[in-house]
Amino acid sequence: MTEFKLDQLPQKNFAQIIAVISASISAFASGTLWAFASPAIPKLISEYGFTIEEVSYIAVIGPASLVISTPIFCKLADKIGRKYTLFSAGIIYVAAWLSVAFASNIWVFYLSRVLYGVGDASVYAILPAYIAEITSARMRNLYGNTLMIFSFHGQFFSNCIGYYFSIPTTGFIMLTFPILYLICFSFMPDTPYFLIMAKNTDGARKSLQKLRGIDNVDLELKQITQDVNRQLSESVTFKDLWTINSNRKALFIALFSRIAYQLSGFIPLVAYSQYVFQEAGGVVPNGVASMIVSGIICVGIIFANLISDQLGRKKSMIISCSGCGIALLGESIYFYLQKYELVDLTSISWFPVAALVLYALAFCVGLGIVPTLIAGEIFSTSIRKHATSVTNVVFGIFSTTFAEVFQLLMTAYGLWAPFLFFSICLLVNAFAAYFIIIETKGKTLEDIQQMLKRNKK
C-alpha cells in the first residue's frame, strides 16, 4: 500500500499540528538568538564600550560552532532519537540567553554565541527530519517549511524587544521561549521511523496512535516498517554522495541554493541591520526600520509557499536573486554617494529603508524558502542524513565567511562596499540558477529521483 493510499485513511490532524508547532518553537528560539546581534551591536558599542572589531565576532561565532557541532547531532539523532536530540537544543538555548543576561565582558557574549551555534546545529539538522517523520504526506506539504516561518518570526520579535529593552532585560525576556519549548515538546512523541529503527515496535505504534488520533494504525505501521527495513538494508556512506551520479547532482543543487542564500548577504544584514540604519541617518529610527524589514519578511514568508508553487522553484530563485541584487545595488549607490558627499541625499533619506523593504519582499519569494524546500525534495531517503550533514556544515562555513566579509568591507571602505559585493553575487546567481536549479514543482519524490538519474537537463 502506497503512502498516498495510507494518507487517505481516517485520521485526525490536530495532534500532528500540535507536535509540529511544539517542535517548531525551537526554531523561534533560534531566530531570537540569530537576530539578537542586530539590536545588541549598537548598544555593545555605545553602552559597553566595545569596538566594532570586537562585536563583529558576534556575527560569526555562531555559524562557526554550528559547523563543528552538526556531525555530532546527526549521529545523536540515530542513537538517542530525534526527540531527545532536538530537545537538547532547548537546554542549550537556555544557557545561551542566561549568558547574555549576566554578561559583563565580551568573552561571555562570545560564549553565548558559541552555545547558540551548537543549538542551531541540532535544530537545523533534526527539526526538518522530525516534522517529515511525524506527519502524513498531506500534512507534510502544509507544514514542511515551519522551520523558516518560526525562525523569521523569532527574528522579528528579537528586533522589537532588543530595541526597547536593555541587553540583560532582553536576555531574561527571551529566556521564556526555550523554556516554553522544553515544557511543550517534552509531551511530544519520538518519530515512529526512529522507534522502528530502534526495534521498538510498541513505541512506534503508540507514537502513531497519538499522532494520528486513531487506534488502528496497523497499515501505516506496516508500511513504515517496510520502508525503514529497506532503507537500513541499503549500505550508504558519505562516499556515495560523490560517486553516485544522482546524489552528486542533488548535492550540487542543494549546495548552490544554500550558497546563494549566503551570498544574498541576509545573515550579516540581520546582524547589522540596526547598525546600518543608524549609519544611514534616515528619518526612520534604526530600530523601527529594522522592525519594518523583519516584519515584512514575517508576513511574506507565510505566503511564500503559495508563490513558489505558482512560479516553480527555478523561477522563484531567479526572480528572488534578481530583486535582491537590484535592491542591494541601490543601497550601495546610496551609501557611496553619502560617504563621499557627492550629492545631497536629505530629500531621499528614506531610501535605505525602502530598498531593504524591496530586498525583504524579493528574499521571501525564493531565497527565503527554496533552499530548504528543494533540499527536502531532491535527496533519496537513504542518503538524506549524510546530505543534511554536508549542507549544514557548508551553510555554517559560508555564514561565518560572509559575515566576516561584510564587516571587513564595511570597516575598510564603508557600507557601500559590502552592498556592492553581495549585489554582484546575487545577479550572477540569478543567471546561474537558470542552469543549475531543477524544476521540482508538481513532481513526486520518485519523479525527481528519476529526473536526476537522467543526463538531460
Give 48-89 pLDDT, tens digit per residue: 888 888 887 887 788 888 888 888 888 888 889 899 999 999
Nearest CA among 164, 132, 147, 167 for reference residue 55: 167
In this prediction, residue 456 carries a pLDDT of 46
CB 307 within 8 A of CB 316: yes
Half-sphere exposure of 271 (CA within 13 A, CB side): 24
Half-sphere exposure of 239 (CA within 13 A, CB side): 1
112 Cβ contact partners less than 8 Å away, ≥ 6 residues apart = 33, 96, 97, 99, 100, 103
Cell of 381: 531517503
Kindly state the average pLDDT of the residues 284-303.
Answer: 77
Domain parsing of the chain, residue ranges: 13-188, 239-457
Task: Read off the pTM.
Answer: 0.78
The model's pLDDT over 122-166, given as tens digits with 9 standing for 90+, comes to 998 888 888 878 887 667 666 667 888 898 889 889 888 988 899
CA angle 374, 379, 382 (to 5 degrees): 150
Nearest CA among 299, 316, 298, 319 for reference residue 307: 316
The model's pLDDT over 271-284, given as tens digits with 9 standing for 90+, comes to 677 777 777 666 66
Query: Using 50, 70 and 90 to split pLDDT, how confident is the model at 442?
Result: low
Half-sphere exposure of 199 (CA within 13 A, CB side): 0
Superfamily of domain 239-457: MFS general substrate transporter like domains (1.20.1250.20)
CA torsion sign, 335 to 31 to 403 to 129? negative
In this prediction, residue 222 carries a pLDDT of 87
Cell of 274: 540596526
- Can 13-188 and 239-457 be said to share one CATH topology? yes
Nearest CA among 222, 58, 31, 197 for reference residue 129: 197
Is the confidence at residue 107, as pLDDT, over 90?
Answer: yes
CB 84 within 8 A of CB 190: yes
Angle separating helix axes 384-413 and 370-378, nearest 10 degrees: 150
CB 295 within 8 A of CB 288: no
- Cα 60 from Cα 456, distance rounded (Å): 40
**Backbone φ, ψ for residue 2 (5° rounding):** -80, 165
Cell of 165: 529593552
CB 282 within 8 A of CB 415: no
The model's pLDDT over 386-422, given as tens digits with 9 standing for 90+, comes to 887 788 788 878 877 887 788 888 888 988 999 999 9
CATH 1.20.1250.20 holds for 13-188: yes
Q: Phi-psi bin for 454: left (phi > 0), alpha (psi -120 to 50), beta?
A: beta
